[in-house]
A and B are shown apart, each in its own frame.
Chain A
Amino acid sequence: MEKHSRRAFLRNTSMAVGVAGAVAAVPGLPAVLESGGPQAAESAAAELPKGAELSEPLVAHVRDLTTGEIDLYAGERQVTYRDPHMAARLFKATR
């Protein structure tokens, strides 16, 4: 029987996380997303277009931890985003 390593687990397991509108449902996630502290939060806010707000659910599905592939779902759209660091941080937030 194949031995299950943590790396294999990470490679084979996808994870869906609701962020933004549903962020409060994942304990610890806000803290992780703001792990850079208040300054980082301010910096992130500055990246948003003026007047940006969530009028619909924004859902992130971490498809592959090793490549950092994250599918983002908003409205009827799907965008695939690659950010291994973000994927790792989201994963840690769910542990």
Chain B
Amino acid sequence: MSSHREAPEISKDPVADSTDVYAFVSPDAPTTVTLIANYVPLQAPDGGPNFYEFGDDVLYHINIDNNGDGVAEIIYELRFNTVVGNPNTFLYNTGPIQSLADKNWNRRQFYSLNRQEKSGNQRRTTVLGTNLACPPCNIGPLSTPNYPDLANQAVHGLPGGEKVFAGQRAEGFYVDLGAIFDLGDLRPLEQLHNQFGLNVPELAKPAPGVNSTKGANVYSIALQVPITQLTSNGSSPTNAGDPSSVIGVWTTASRQKVSMVAQNNGQSTNAGPFVQVSRLGNPLVNEVIIPMGKKDYWNNQPPANDSQFVQYFQHPELSTLLPTLYPNAFPNLAAFNATGSPRGDIVAIFNTGIPSGVVSGFQNSGGSKQADLLRLNMAIPPTTSNLSNLGVVGNDPAGFPNGRRVFDDVVTIELRALAGATLPLVNKSFTADAAVSQVTDGLTTSPTDVSAMGTENYLPTFPYLGVPYSGFAVPAS
């Protein structure tokens, strides 16, 4: 998935597992940017009695690079604290939870938020909020009646004009995991798959995609920040050609080096400095670009060190596999692969941003530094009509890989890019195979479909990801 359970170590540590990052100019508040970092993947909404929460022992960051050096000039840092009202009941709540202060709610979570700004070798920290309340999980009509209003109480306005929300949301990312991880099957094209000679009858004709995240929840940290607080010079950029209009965004989660489980109560205590155990900028990078033996290491590394991974972007494994898995569908890609030439388009999309002159009227490169960052050109206004879930590839410059909106079909965009759709941008002699335009995992009906199957509940306003599915309504399958 985008980055759900993408590496061996982090797959065992859900509360620190970053799953998706979104960054976009807010469509309803275009002087601001919305940043969303998701954690705790694949939540079955009925997962009680110990419902999901953030890790009190995890340090969560949303990082902003605003000068193209791959280093965070701004960090939003969150630390969580769980408070149990009554330890003598097994219940998450002892009656309906009607407000964030409701005494029926037995296990609450609060957080602090600070902003760190780099100044030379120093970091200046500003506390933006303390004891900010998370909402409860969406349990059901008896426990969490009128959940949307309850969750809205957890949208906190901050003195600097920011908004923050940290809590459960409906998963917004969509993907057909079941097919893709079955040896690269794309259901809409599966009749073309070589099937390893098995000739599986049910794969003999095209089929619609199946959304693996339908009905699942996730935990979101969402921030809405005035653009002037994100640029290096405090301005609001209007020239999309200016590199200073671009920010690079990524999230990290860190744990203390030492953890010990106490013999007398089964609880763990921690010691030592925090070490990064998870990071995420662009979707699917660690998932499908980085090889198995490097995934944990990649999660530990800062983006500024990403040049060490460049060969995996220059020669992506999936691009090599596609002509084999789908014989005769990608002859041009196969021929290009045979030359051994590097994929400059893939390096640009993920590692440097797209420089000026590659896509007419568009750039999102803050510099040439190789770093996996979700790069957003903040001078490009949000698209309000003729939106395309294919973003820049679909002639909608406000979408991925110019940042990422909640509805962007990043799986299809990246699959098509890896299949060669974007290679002509940097290699004029290359012609993308006809099959490229058919590549999809089949979860949207068209590029204008911005409510993919199972994710119909996106919100038009902050925090944009939908009201989480209730445990009562959506039991685990």
A59 contacts the other chain (CB 8 A): yes
Contact between B258 and A76, CB atoms less than 8 A apart: no
Residues of B250-302 at the interface with A, using a CB-CB cut-off of 8 Å, are 256-258, 260, 263, 269-274
Contact between B263 and A59, CB atoms less than 8 A apart: no
Query: Chain A residue with minimal CB distance to B59?
Result: A76
Residues of chain B at interface, number, CB under 8 A: 11
Residues in B neighbouring A61, C-beta threshold 8 A: 258
Q: Chain A interface secondary structure, helix, strand, loop or mixed?
A: strand
In the bound assembly, the distance between CA atoms of A74 and B260 in angstroms comes to 13
Minimum C-beta distance from B58 to chain A (A): 13
Residues of chain A at interface, number, CB under 8 A: 15
Contact between B260 and A78, CB atoms less than 8 A apart: no
A53 contacts the other chain (CB 8 A): no
Contact between A73 and B260, CB atoms less than 8 A apart: no
A33-53 near B? 1/0 per residue, CB < 8 Å: 000000000000000000000
In the bound assembly, the distance between CA atoms of A5 and B258 in angstroms comes to 30
Query: Chain A residue with minimal CB distance to B262?
Result: A22
Given the interface pairs A59-B258, A73-B257, A73-B258, the reply to whether A78 lies near B272 with Cβ below 8 Å is yes
Minimum C-beta distance from B385 to chain A (A): 50
Contact between A77 and B273, CB atoms less than 8 A apart: yes
Compute the total of residue contacts between A and B using a CB distance below 8 Å: 34
Contact between B271 and A22, CB atoms less than 8 A apart: no
Minimum C-beta distance from A26 to chain B (A): 12
Given the interface pairs A73-B272, A78-B272, A78-B273, the reply to whether A22 lies near B258 with Cβ below 8 Å is no
In the bound assembly, the distance between CA atoms of A78 and B273 in angstroms comes to 6
A30 contacts the other chain (CB 8 A): no
Given the interface pairs A59-B258, A61-B258, the reply to whether A74 lies near B271 with Cβ below 8 Å is yes
Which listed residue (B263, B269, B272) contacts A76, Cβ 8 A?
Answer: B272
Contact between A18 and B273, CB atoms less than 8 A apart: no
Minimum C-beta distance from B352 to chain A (A): 34
In the bound assembly, the distance between CA atoms of A56 and B260 in angstroms comes to 12
In the bound assembly, the distance between CA atoms of A18 and B273 in angstroms comes to 16
Minimum C-beta distance from B456 to chain A (A): 43
A68-95 near B? 1/0 per residue, CB < 8 Å: 0000011111100000000000000000
Contact between B260 and A18, CB atoms less than 8 A apart: yes
Contact between B256 and A22, CB atoms less than 8 A apart: no
Contact between B257 and A22, CB atoms less than 8 A apart: no
Which listed residue (A18, A59, A76) contacts B274, Cβ 8 A?
Answer: A76
In the bound assembly, the distance between CA atoms of A59 and B273 in angstroms comes to 12
In the bound assembly, the distance between CA atoms of A18 and B259 in angstroms comes to 11
Query: Chain A residue with minimal CB distance to B271?
Result: A73
Contact between A58 and B260, CB atoms less than 8 A apart: no
Contact between A57 and B260, CB atoms less than 8 A apart: yes
Contact between A76 and B260, CB atoms less than 8 A apart: no
Residues in A neighbouring B258, C-beta threshold 8 A: 16, 57, 59, 61, 73
Residues in B neighbouring A22, C-beta threshold 8 A: 260
A10 contacts the other chain (CB 8 A): no
Contact between A78 and B263, CB atoms less than 8 A apart: no
Minimum C-beta distance from B254 to chain A (A): 11
Residues of B396-423 at the interface with A, using a CB-CB cut-off of 8 Å, are none
In the bound assembly, the distance between CA atoms of A75 and B270 in angstroms comes to 8
Contact between A56 and B271, CB atoms less than 8 A apart: yes
Residues in B neighbouring A16, C-beta threshold 8 A: 258
In the bound assembly, the distance between CA atoms of A56 and B256 in angstroms comes to 14
Residues in A neighbouring B272, C-beta threshold 8 A: 59, 73-74, 76-78
5 shortest interchain CB distances as A-B pairs: A73-B272, A73-B271, A57-B271, A73-B258, A59-B258
- Given contact pairs A56-B271, A73-B271, A78-B257, enumerate 8 new A-B contacts (beta carbons under 8 Å): A25-B263, A57-B271, A59-B271, A59-B272, A75-B271, A76-B256, A78-B272, A78-B273
A to B CB contacts below 8 Å, 28 in the list = A16-B258, A18-B260, A22-B260, A25-B263, A56-B269, A56-B271, A57-B260, A57-B269, A57-B270, A57-B271, A58-B271, A59-B258, A59-B260, A59-B271, A59-B272, A61-B258, A73-B256, A73-B257, A73-B271, A75-B271, A76-B272, A76-B273, A76-B274, A77-B272, A77-B273, A78-B257, A78-B272, A78-B273
